[in-house]
């Protein structure tokens, strides 16, 4: 988080948990902020902190060249900006979107005379504006917009530009969240296994955290294998061995009275890859099996 940038005037639409956290960070760093929120009362604490409050979204957009939007979803962005003149604006959309929605929104903004940057927030509100918290946003779309406003954008959370394709910020965001949900699934299964036993959850928690940390290096091996096309490169625990070991995991779940439903989809894919004659690989080949026709 940087807060040594020139004082800047900007607009923020959306004062939910995340929008309000961004607003507080910009105000605390001395930037001049105009805010708007559909439910006007949510702007009151920010007005007390020095924000100018616009009565309408169109008015807020008219107040500044740089307009940041942090609303619930893409439909709310459409609704909020329907009556606003975006000509000459630099629109930064931090609302969570799919890559397709972000690309369509970029076209939509360009058609209304605005430069566009999409953002994906990798933080929860308490991390925002806190130096060293690790909060950051992915940004993609107009490089010029990003370069012009990088300093002020990096005040609430670090700023990582990932490409001109407006869909890339959302894609990076969702890729990381997807990895996180896989981890949450494994953690849920692990705790379910010990739930009825005389093992303190906090003791297992430390062990899980330590083990997951030790395993994170595998992400780099997967990347190397994908890049080289050789999925046997550097393999330590091959697929044939892992599929054989699956029986122990499933039998343990049964013994402990735990549904295997969080594990079985991944094991089914590993088995399919093994059946295709890829026992010497790691699990990287599963990625190829996931390819399907985009909607």
- List interacting residues with ligand FVH (CB under 6 A): 14-19, 37-39, 42, 70-73, 76, 79-80, 95-96, 121, 124-125
Of 135, 254, 258, which is closest to residue 191 (Cα–Cα)? 258
Cα torsion 270, 273, 277, 279 to 10°: value is -30
Least distance (Å) between residue 20 CB and ligand FVH: 7
Tokens of 211: 């083990």
Q: Tell me the C-alpha distance between 204 and 98, whole Å.
A: 36
Q: Tell me the C-alpha distance between 273 and 283, whole Å.
A: 8
Give kind and range of the element (H or E) at residue 210: helix 201-215
Least distance (Å) between residue 26 CB and ligand FVH: 15
Sequence-separated (6 or more) residues with CB below 8 Å from residue 289: 269, 272, 273
Shorter beta-carbon distance to ligand FVH: residue 12 or 66: 12
Shorter beta-carbon distance to ligand FVH: residue 18 or 155: 18
Shorter beta-carbon distance to ligand FVH: residue 119 or 285: 119
Least distance (Å) between residue 150 CB and ligand FVH: 20
Least distance (Å) between residue 260 CB and ligand FVH: 30
- SS3 of residue 13 by DSSP: strand
Shorter beta-carbon distance to ligand FVH: residue 118 or 282: 118
Chain residue whose CB lies nearest ligand FVH: 16
Least distance (Å) between residue 32 CB and ligand FVH: 21
Least distance (Å) between residue 14 CB and ligand FVH: 4
- SS3 of residue 229 by DSSP: coil
Q: Give the gyration radius of the chain's Cα atoms.
A: 23
Q: Tell me the C-alpha distance between 251 and 9, whole Å.
A: 61
CB atoms within 10 A of CB 12: 28
Of 153, 206, 162, 177, which is closest to residue 96 (Cα–Cα)? 177
Shorter beta-carbon distance to ligand FVH: residue 51 or 274: 51
CA 2 to chain centre: 21
Residue whose entry in the numeric block shows the structure tokens 């002020």 = 152
Sequence-separated (6 or more) residues with CB below 8 Å from residue 45: 20
Least distance (Å) between residue 177 CB and ligand FVH: 9
Least distance (Å) between residue 172 CB and ligand FVH: 13
Shorter beta-carbon distance to ligand FVH: residue 73 or 107: 73
- SS3 of residue 212 by DSSP: helix
Shorter beta-carbon distance to ligand FVH: residue 17 or 241: 17
Shorter beta-carbon distance to ligand FVH: residue 72 or 249: 72
């Amino acid at each position: 988080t940087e807060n040594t940038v020139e004082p800047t005037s900007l607009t923020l639409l959306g004062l939910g948990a995340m929008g309000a956290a961004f607003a507080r960070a910009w105000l605390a760093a001395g930037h001049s902020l105009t805010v708007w929120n559909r439910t006007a009362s949510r702007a009151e604490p920010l007005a007390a902190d020095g924000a100018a409050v616009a009565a309408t979204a169109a008015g807020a957009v008219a107040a500044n060249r740089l307009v940041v939007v942090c609303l619930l979803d893409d439909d709310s962005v459409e609704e909020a900006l329907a009556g606003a003149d975006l000509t000459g604006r630099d629109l930064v959309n931090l609302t969570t979107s799919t890559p397709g929605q972000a690309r369509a929104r970029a076209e939509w903004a360009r058609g209304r005379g605005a430069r566009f940057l999409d953002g994906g927030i990798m933080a929860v509100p308490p991390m925002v504006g806190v130096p060293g918290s690790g909060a950051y946003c992915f940004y993609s779309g107009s490089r010029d917009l990003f370069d012009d406003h990088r300093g002020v954008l990096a005040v609430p959370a670090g700023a990582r530009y990932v490409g001109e394709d407006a869909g890339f910020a959302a894609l990076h965001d969702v890729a990381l969240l997807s990895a996180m949900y896989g981890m949450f699934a494994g953690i849920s299964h692990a705790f379910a296994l010990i739930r009825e036993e005389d093992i303190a959850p906090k003791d297992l928690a430390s062990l899980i955290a330590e083990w997951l940390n030790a395993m994170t290096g595998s992400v780099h091996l997967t990347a190397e294998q994908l890049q080289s096309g050789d999925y046997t490169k550097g393999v330590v625990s091959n697929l044939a061995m892992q599929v054989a070991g699956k029986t122990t995991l499933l039998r343990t779940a049964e013994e402990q009275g735990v549904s295997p439903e969080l594990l079985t989809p991944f094991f089914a894919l590993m088995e399919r890859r093994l059946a295709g004659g890829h026992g010497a690989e790691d699990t990287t080949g599963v990625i190829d099996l996931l390819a399907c026709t985009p909607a």
